[in-house]
């Protein structure tokens, strides 16, 4: 009998649609323009197939030719981006709160949300220190690395986490999967998570859940260089994060009500 950890299967009969979507997901801020050859190699299809998929995406006005042998996303994608942005508005009402949290801790404060099988930073307040975090709103992160993402993944439960691991490509290393699964109970019981050098080398972070009606909808995190955060500062930052996360939960619950 199949257990609850059975991985979600690939949707049958949609291979062509899957390849077209993979092509769209290849474009990024770092790679705004791609050639047919690059697309064919990345999606593992023939060049004639790549041309056919691009022809379809041009027909749907989702990509356009740049005139130099490459293509890029069309302005129509901005409509989808605006829709996604509206779904991530949870960070803006909390902006004053995270600014206060940054002042109270002397380190960057972030609001992180789960988007499918990943986490993303939706709001951040940086410090004036010379050494700052590289996080930016919209940045995609793994759910099993980093204090904030781990709070979000723990909230989904062990069975969901196991299915998530099965869906990820590349598949997470066994050591990292086991390490996270061992943390789930502690994160849930204590109501917070911490990490060191899990997302970026030399960066320490702590996070607590933000809830609406007892459902975790985001994580509030403070992160900074490990060399600046001794045990005493770490305890102070944890207390500030827990207090601010509780305030954020009340704020969002009242808005939802």
Between 97-106, 128-137, 142-151, 228-237, the lowest mean confidence (pLDDT) is in 128-137
Percent of the chain with pLDDT over 90: 40
Three-state secondary structure readout of 2-69: CCCCCCCCCCCCCHHHHHHHHHHHHCCCCCCCEEHHHHHHHHCCCHHHHHHHHHHHHHCCCEEECCCC
Confidence of residue 154 (pLDDT cuts 50, 70, 90): very high
Indicate if the pLDDT at residue 1 is higher than 50: no
Tell whether pTM > 0.75.
no
Report d(CA 90, CA 80) in Å as an integer: 18
Residue 236 pLDDT exceeds 80: yes
Other Cβ atoms closer than 10 A to 201: 8
Most confident of 11-25, 122-136, 143-157: 143-157
Looking at the chain, the whole-number percentage of residues with pLDDT higher than 70 is 87
Beta strands 193-196 and 140-142, pairing class: unpaired
Q: At what angle do helices 147-156 and 174-190 cross, to 10 degrees?
A: 80
pLDDT (tens digit, 9 = 90+) per residue, 62-81?
898 888 889 988 877 766 76
């Amino acid at each position: 009998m199949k257990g609850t950890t059975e991985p979600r299967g690939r949707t049958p009969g949609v291979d062509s649609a899957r390849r077209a979507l993979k092509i769209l997901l290849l474009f990024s801020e770092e790679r705004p323009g791609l050639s047919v050859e690059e697309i064919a190699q990345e999606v593992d299809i023939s060049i004639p197939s790549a041309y056919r998929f691009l022809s379809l995406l041009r027909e749907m006005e989702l990509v356009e030719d740049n005139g130099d042998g490459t293509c890029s996303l069309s302005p129509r994608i901005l409509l989808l981006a605006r829709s996604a942005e509206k779904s991530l508005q949870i960070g803006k009402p909390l902006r004053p709160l995270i600014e206060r949290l940054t002042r109270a801790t002397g380190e960057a404060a972030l609001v992180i949300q789960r988007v499918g099988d990943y986490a993303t930073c939706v709001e951040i307040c940086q410090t004036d220190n010379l050494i700052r975090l590289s996080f930016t709103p919209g940045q995609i992160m793994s759910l099993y690395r980093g204090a904030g993402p781990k709070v979000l993944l723990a909230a989904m439960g062990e069975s969901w986490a196991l299915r998530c691991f099965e869906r990820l490509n590349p598949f997470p290393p066994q050591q990292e999967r086991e390490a996270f699964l061992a943390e789930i109970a502690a994160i849930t019981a204590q109501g917070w998570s911490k990490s060191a050098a899990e997302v970026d080398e030399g960066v320490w972070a702590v996070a607590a859940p933000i809830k609406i009606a007892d459902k975790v909808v985001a994580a509030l995190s403070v992160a900074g260089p490990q060399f600046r955060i001794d045990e005493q500062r770490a305890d102070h930052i944890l207390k500030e994060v827990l207090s601010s996360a509780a305030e954020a939960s009340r704020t969002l619950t009242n808005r939802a009500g």
